Structure 1
């Protein structure tokens, strides 16, 4: 590439915006939307429960479904779902909404803790109010008070069901479905016990509503909530929470590069340069990515994607393939123990790689091998911050492991946790957050329970010889060591 092209592409890569965390009431820009084939099930109104970790897109897709413009936009990619014939209301999002919108956590406190309403009745009222935005039913507009909707529901459960049935029939006649979204359920209460009870009540009501044909609940849930035995402690919970019933939100290797290439093709300043690069590298013609998306030949073919990345970053991480090929090396070092990579982490790595400047020439590429290593360092820090948001106990577990070399024996980790008081820190959380699920399983060996938790969430992996390894995406920011691995920042 000539210098001008390199500068344009570096500038476009530096403008990638991986960090912002969407909420359900803040839709993404249309140019930011990429529609992987594997995410169709996550947007399907017939699939109730979508489970994903931090940064995998739960709130992104919630916001996309809730907004008329973005929902219409993705309906062109997922035509089978008929999303353009859906109306979407909000049941909960963990943020303040308009006067007749989803209740906030504080409103739930007033209704449940102060007024003494049963959580299930509250959720019934929330569903009714969300549906009544699209099917007039003459219901009370406020949730609280003696004239409020929750009290109205409690007075006559059969009447409340009858109103929903009539609404369902009206929607059938109209030929549309109403989807009621629930997101950010980790903000349902002040402590984990409240969150667990309110989540369980919502799932119970959702299970009862599965008989409706045109009123569809849609719940986006964290992985640890979906796997918490306390949340699932009701009959037939498996109909929602089992592996066959829920949708797990994941990103394949090709999906991440498809997202990257879509953002580059849509870049106002560098889009044309990138399109020419793709055609030069693969002979694949790209036409109007914003309207029709990437060609399938690039979206689905890892070999074609690799050819494009070679143009951006060169073929190898060193002088030959022995140091790794750039296309596979990046994903390998960003993946957790289950080979999962979040899009935010991936884009942050690429963005930081484009910003890296070495003293030696970059050999005509927008990204250098040294830049990719710097990108891993930055992405590891971002991913560990995301992990802390999801698992509040992780600080107490990770910090004592600095300078520990991996792979190592499990006993080496146990010793560090015992010496640093990790067990006491987690045990004394007093319900302020969800401790590792393994702590509630009655395991008296709590260091082993912590390791089981790390293995379960993909922060650790057990090698064939029994030793424990920490993938680079967590190891680097945790300042742990591995021979030949990407070095932590100092």
Structure 2
């Protein structure tokens, strides 16, 4: 019996309910550490590889935009989600962890940007930022021993004018926690929101890393920084221990198995479609989904790729076309959503699936949950959204991609350079960066190359480091579909823009 015939033993109403559940996914919404957009219990999925990211002993967590940095920061901070994470990752001791926010980028999440601007004046980062972060860390720590007192950074700066007083107070908190068998973790998230000025951001994060590094002298007090890898590499940090911090960093990577596990977990715990998904699984001989989220780690569809492939082929058919030449439906989304660094984020993956389900609703999908052609169309939406998100960090990116529209890739580097030169792209992009107080696409004013003439190779190198371009072994540049489609570049045999 074929896969599609098997799925017919599940009612068309069940199939429609599963399709509607996928169409309800809200992957583009950003998580915040607190507030209405904080992490929800129903959305937690715990890949084994992410254990290091939640480990209190890991100081630096690196992840691309949309990889889940703010989500995990929120999971750690909020008590209900931290309790579930403790069950899913029992060896980490999260049940004996207290969590405070050092900085979270939103109101009620640690020190605010306004407070930072007031207490660390622009241009005085080297003189004042270290003391400021010590004050923030002290304020978070003293909530353990002085839970009813005010611990604002202004008060902490006055209280700990003598650095030895800071050490003594932190030692007292450390001893108290150790005696209780507990630990304190101070979380710093959304660090790019500290300042729009990259020079200032350099100074502030440099000081933050120095302050966090000093916590190694305590037994029960730790800090965790969530950052984008491109942000870390672009900041010209002078913190001497950065190589050690980077070498011990955890990276939020999502494998194909992780992403399908995430998707199926959301369906299993969907309040409206959970029963329909249950029927769908049983009809395929895949058993019932877990009754509780704590059981996700042992659920076969969380981590067994063979079982996952069987289920998805029942949902979308075996191939993207009439035969295997167009690719298998199971592998196709992951293969086409990777950036040039090989990363696929949950946000892009779920956007593709959500859009495909939405489009399949308006067509006669029959016994399929998702039509292959709608998966292809979902990639277009994911590409468009990814470029929009990239534009929030790099407001010049659209201006850089615009002259490339219509080019066929892979192409020789000179093809890219000529398109940019003809449109004065480097100069225009640098102007946009200056206007928006963003890091420019190429460094300007250096002794090696003070001007902007003939800087197109530098621009291409920058895009390669960002994962927007890739360099082939024959020297030609290519662009991953995740960006190519939204930027309207052409590729033989590829999805058309």
For residue 25 of structure 2, give the secondary structure of its aligned residue in structure 1.
coil
Corresponding residue for 1:486?
495
* Pairing 1:186-335 to 2, within 5 Å after superposition: 186-228=192-234, 230-231=236-237, 233-241=238-246, 244-293=247-296, 295-335=298-338
Corresponding residue for 1:96?
107
- Shift in alpha-carbon separation, 1:349–1:289, aligned structure 2, 3 A: farther
Does 2:393 correspond to 1:390?
yes
The superposition leaves residues 416-468 of structure 1 with CA deviations (integer Å, 9 ceiling, x where unpaired) of 11222221133333381123476698774521111112211211112222211
For residue 263 of structure 2, give the secondary structure of its aligned residue in structure 1.
helix
Larger relative contact order (CA 8 Å, sep ≥ 6):
2
Q: Distance in 2 between matches of 1:37 and 1:82?
A: 15
TM-score between the two structures when normalised by the length of structure 2: 0.91
Aligned 8 A contact 1:137 1:163 in 2: no
For residue 71 of structure 2, give the secondary structure of its aligned residue in structure 1.
helix
Corresponding residue for 1:167?
173
Corresponding residue for 2:156?
149
- Shift in alpha-carbon separation, 1:471–1:324, aligned structure 2, 3 A: same
- Shift in alpha-carbon separation, 1:437–1:249, aligned structure 2, 3 A: farther
Offset at 1:90? 0.5
Q: Distance in 2 between matches of 1:50 and 1:291?
A: 24
List gaps (5 residues or longer) in structure 2: 1-7
Aligned 8 A contact 2:142 2:151 in 1: no
Does 2:469 correspond to 1:460?
yes
Corresponding residue for 1:477?
486
Offset at 1:296? 4.1
The partner residue of 1:52 within 52, 57, 63 is 63
Q: Distance in 2 between matches of 1:175 and 1:275?
A: 42
- Shift in alpha-carbon separation, 1:103–1:226, aligned structure 2, 3 A: same
Corresponding residue for 1:123?
133
Does 2:118 correspond to 1:110?
yes
Corresponding residue for 1:448?
457
The partner residue of 2:405 within 396, 402, 406 is 402
Offset at 1:213? 1.3
Corresponding residue for 1:423?
426
Q: Distance in 2 between matches of 1:362 and 1:138?
A: 59
Corresponding residue for 1:61?
72
Q: Distance in 1 between matches of 2:213 and 2:394?
A: 27
The superposition leaves residues 192-240 of structure 1 with CA deviations (integer Å, 9 ceiling, x where unpaired) of 1111110111001111112211111111012222113512x12222121
Offset at 1:175? 0.8
- Shift in alpha-carbon separation, 1:56–1:441, aligned structure 2, 3 A: farther
Q: Distance in 1 between matches of 2:268 and 2:76?
A: 24
List gaps (5 residues or longer) in structure 1: none
For residue 340 of structure 1, give the secondary structure of its aligned residue in structure 2.
coil
The superposition leaves residues 272-292 of structure 1 with CA deviations (integer Å, 9 ceiling, x where unpaired) of 221232333353443314342
Q: Distance in 1 between matches of 2:333 and 2:463?
A: 23
For residue 102 of structure 2, give the secondary structure of its aligned residue in structure 1.
strand
